[in-house]
Structure 1
Amino acid sequence: MQTRMCPDDVAWEQAEEISDNWLAQFLKNDVLRPIGNFVLDHNEGIGTEFAILKKGSYNISLRLKDENEATIIRLSQPGAVFFPEEKVVNEVAMMRFLTDKTSIPIPFIHHSGTKKESPLELSPFIIMDYIEHETKMYDALNTPGCPTDERGILDSAIDEDRLEMLYGQLAGILLQLFTPSLPRIGSLSQIDDFTWEVTRRPLSMNMNKLVRLGSLPRSKLPDLRTTFTTTSSYVEALADLNMEHLVHQRNDSVESADDCRRKFVARRLFCKLARDKRLTDPLLEEGPFKIWCDDLRPANVLLHENLKIAGVVDWEFTYAAPAEFSYAPPWWLLIERPEYWLEGLEDWTRTFDYRLKTFLKVMTEYEDSAIQQGRLKEDQRLSGHMCQSWESGDFWVIYAALHSFAFDVIYWQKIDPPFFGPPENPEGAWKERLDLLDEKEKYEMEQLVARKLKEMNTRILAWDPDEYTVAFSQQLKRQREEADEAHTIHKAVDNEVENKGNETGTSGFSETHTLSDKLAATHLSN
């Protein structure tokens, strides 16, 4: 039995191929030079060194620096980001909002723009300050010697004082994010220098992943201008997305007929719980809503040499969300996600519970100090809410709603038993829950099973990428066709040269020159 739903490997391979080939062009000087000049134009002509800084999960960053300061341009990767324009607009608005409303050290934005406005029309971009740093919170918490190509995990032997110091700084970031309140759920737009409003859908990391690796049509997502005024309506929309994910992922979504049934039952019951408003707190139904960052984790927290925070980066999937999201303690206290924990979910739970006590201890101390200094109000404490979310199991509801590929293992072990009672046979719990479905739902389930089993006989690409990913994919296809054609012509040239040489007893060099001219003319005509 799968502990998590596998991504569509056909879609994943295609997405990676597009992204890798798009990134490869940055090794060429005729691409780097225009980008460098572009950054210079928006940086008052300052800069003596320009180079690739890093490739992230969603972007590539290039740095322009001199002896005093540095600026980076960050471009979204086709094949990795399926909502590039929306992502950049959201991130710019959120970074400026947080700069205005908090003291979190965030890069200053100099300029941003669309693909059309970018150098060589490569992709949507942001030009911002580079934050000098010595290391990242991830490296300070990770197990020493962990290979860079392996998944990190919190150092089990970490010094307690060191852990408290690092956790305390992370607690301070979360408390600052929790302080502003917003009237709707969604992404921010900057109206003027001092005004922001929630005007667009909450674009999440999970939504991007569902379209990229889950074959989910973009039409199944909330409309761009959709915002939410109640917590239950948003959680219900997330529950529906998990069901749509199962329905639409073309490849690798199920192992067998019963595996499909098990996944269908879990999602249908979760949707029922959401629709009946059993997954949310009625006292928080209409807000206020809080800032939530899907990608806030130790890898995006930069540290000075003394391990003090230098800056926090990567705010692209940040939006106003239900307060319950902020109430849930951060899963990344252990660095590793629960569904990937090698020793299983129960061991992750025990280890997390132990480390959470340390985190809540230092958060409470931070809250006490901030309240004494007038930087925080008593009703803005988070520690008590996090403790309650963990103890009640609400943490798992939020996690399952936000992580579609991890949904199954979380639902059956952490959500189903509290709501429907412990099953007699945990492995076959879905069979015991069939009576909770009506006849129409059972019919839908069997129809889906039949379709999934039929689809397992073939593996085709079925996805709905953005226009930029499609455009680069088509460009890549044309380049390959031209390369194949050139290879065919070269092979014909070689054969003809060899034949001429055999006829005349010479190497055929003069004929090669004539045929090369023909080859050049062929390329020009194409």
Structure 2
Amino acid sequence: MYWLNQVDKHAHEIPTWATERHPERRPCHLEKAPLHGSYNLCRIVEFNNGEKWIIRFPLPGKTSQAHLDEKVAGEVVALQLLRGRTNVPVPEVKAWGLADENPLGLGPFMMLQYIPGMDLGDLLEDPNDKHSSLMSVHLHSESVKVIYRQVAQFMLQIFKLDFEEMGGLPVGSPDRRRPLTLAAHEIMCRGGVNVLGLRREKLSTAKEFFDYLINQQWQQLHEQLTSACDEENAREKYIFVRVLKSLTSRHIWPDYNEGPFKLICDDFSLRNMRAQDDLKITGVIDQEFSYAGPAQLLATAPWWLLLERPHMWDFSEEMEDRFLRHLDMFKRVLEEEEEATPGHEDKELSRLIERSNENGTLWFIMVLQGFYQSPDNFPCTQLIRHTPDWDELAQGIPEEEIQAFVAKKIRHVKLHNKRKEDMLAAYEKLQWCQIDADTFFQVVEGLYGQTDDTVE
């Protein structure tokens, strides 16, 4: 709230600031009210020649405070790379800076070319179904193909970008920065578990990368107080992640294990695209959480085929059938685009997506890219179904190991409940002015603090 108040306080300074960054120093004015996205607050300025920029600030609280600069810097590199080496319609970066380069004191920022159009997700949703964020079932298949065809063209260009190393952007920095993935970011912000840590060693193979992601889920499961709600839930989640840790070698493609590596954007999706009424895509925005990673993360079934992330779905045969039908549609469109695009005659991307589908690797990848996993959600259920010896692997886990974890999580549940009671009591004191706001927020932050396992 304090930060938002600061944005409002400095709003009148934004036009002058943008003018100073404009190559012709043209005067401008602010348009409309602030735009709030999932991770950013945006302001639009219009210059006296009709040119528009959108100014983006990462939202504190929605973005890890320790990684604000890193998130912005990585996105800028991704946008510049895509704009310089592909025809993907990403916005031009007009100006940007880290937190200590912002004269308004509002954190890191980007000033981007404003791309007109409507949010593609809004065009594809059913306007009469306010309870669903999935693609409308009433959308004609030809309209879906129009969208898939354009995105297939984007993916083919992105797939041609090769990296010799993996890691955060820019790749090859002296500190060997680990990638800032969306999953890790969400675990840190929502669960309060620092799964990124200070790791600086190089991730050299796809197997190392996938083990790294699974270990982040393992760490979250153990350290987040609310990662399980009761004994049965704790048991199911422990068994799932424990078996998951044993599957990496099965889903590694030896011919891509050591590269080449690809540009991965965890937030690349239909919802981060703008389009006209005729569904022509005018812009691909929000390239945050971009990094160089294994080819398998790109050469797999896109999670965004039905708009919403599959880890939000409960499993049902209806959803399974719908997702697989749209996957088949996308693969057919992709193959057609490969045939029509010079340099893609070998159909490498579509062949790899089919390979991922045939051996169940697509579900393994989808699980790794999710966060707040539950064994009964769609990707997890599918991975279990496509692992013939899952039950055998689960039965091989020592029962005493499972029981020790369950006992720990029950202690965590009790501790979390106690902290919630303390927070409610502190809130009442705040209302009666018996404590100040800083003290209250210390109590709130304590809800997500770490603990040892001796607490009962």
Bucket of the pairwise TM-score, normalised by the shorter protein = 0.7 to 0.9
Task: Report the counterpart of residue 62 of structure 1 in structure 2.
Answer: 43
Q: Which has the larger helix fraction?
A: 1
Deviation string, structure 1 residues 330-367 (Cα, Å, up to 9, x no partner): 1211112323336x343222101112222122211111
1:101 corresponds to: 85
Is the 1:93–1:190 contact (alpha carbons within 8 Å) kept by the matching residues of 2? no
Instruction: For 2:134, give the aligned amino acid.
Output: I
| Matched residue, 2:441 | none
Spell out, residue by residue over 1:289-346, the C-alpha distance to the aligned partner (whole angstroms, 9 max, x if none): 111111111111111343212111101111111111112111211112323336x343
Number of equivalent positions: 422
With a CA cutoff of 8 Å and minimum separation of 6, indicate the structure with the bigger relative contact order.
1
Q: Deviations over 1:47-82 (max 9, x none)?
A: 134444411111101011035210121101110100
Residue from 447, 458, 464 that aligns with 2:404: 447
- CA distance in 1 between counterparts of 2:335 and 2:222 reads 44
User: CA 1:190/1:455 → structure 2, altered by over 3 Å: closer, same or farther?
Assistant: closer
Match of 2:204 in 1: 229
> 366, 370, 381: which one pairs with 2:337?
366
> Residues 79-120 of structure 1: CA distance to partner in whole angstroms, max 9, x if unpaired?
010011110111111111111111111111122112222243
Per the alignment, residue 140 of structure 1 pairs with 123
Query: Could you list the per-position Cα deviations for residues 462-494 of structure 1 after superposition, in whole angstroms to 9, with x for gaps in the alignment?
Result: 9xxxxxxxxxxxxxx9xx98994899xxxxxxx
Task: Give the equivalent residue in structure 1 for 2:236.
Answer: 262
Superposition deviation, residue 21 in structure 1: 5.1
Distance 1:131 1:226, change over 3 A: farther
SS in 2 for 1:457: helix
Gaps of 5+ in 2: 420-425, 437-456
Is 1:156–2:133 an aligned residue pair?
no
Aligned in 2, Cα 1:294/1:405: closer, same or farther, shift over 3 Å?
Answer: same
> Structure 2: which amino acid aligns with 1:394?
T
Q: Please list every run of at least 4 consecutive aligned residues from structure 1 whose deviation after the TM superposition is greater than 6 angstroms.
A: 480-483
Mapped pair 1:169 → 2:129: no
Unmatched segments (≥5 aa) in structure 1: 1-19, 424-431, 463-476, 488-526
Q: Secondary structure at the match of 2:26?
A: coil
Please give the root-mean-square deviation of Cα atoms over the aligned residues, in Å.
2.9
CA contact (8 A) 1:186 1:321 kept: yes
Match of 1:320 among 292, 304, 307: 292
Instruction: Show the counterpart of 2:225.
Output: 250
- 1:213 counterpart (167, 187, 190): 190
Alignment of 1:328-477 (within 5 A): 328-341=300-313, 344-371=315-342, 376-379=343-346, 381-409=348-376, 413-421=381-389, 423=391, 433-438=393-398, 442-459=399-416
TM-score (norm 1): 0.74
> Structure 1, residues 194-237: CA drift from partner, whole Å, max 9, x if none?
xx999521111111100111221x2x326353441100011111
Letter in 1 for 2:305: L
Question: What CA distance in whole angstroms lies between the structure 1 residues aligned with 2:210 and 2:197?
Answer: 12
Summarize deviations over 1:240-287 as a string: whole Å, max 9, x none: 111111101112x2132232122111111211222xx22211221101
Corresponding residue for residue 94 of structure 2: 110
Aligned-residue identity in percent:
27
Counterpart of 1:445, as a letter, is I
- Which residue identity lines up with residue 31 of structure 1 in the other structure? H
TM-score (norm 2): 0.84
Task: Tell me the SS of whatever aligns to 1:404.
Answer: coil
Give the residue type in structure 2 aligned to 1:436.
G
Shift in Å at residue 46 of structure 1?
2.9
What is the CA–CA distance in structure 2 between the aligned matches of 1:237 and 1:200, rounded to whole Å? 13
CA contact (8 A) 2:91 2:112 kept: yes
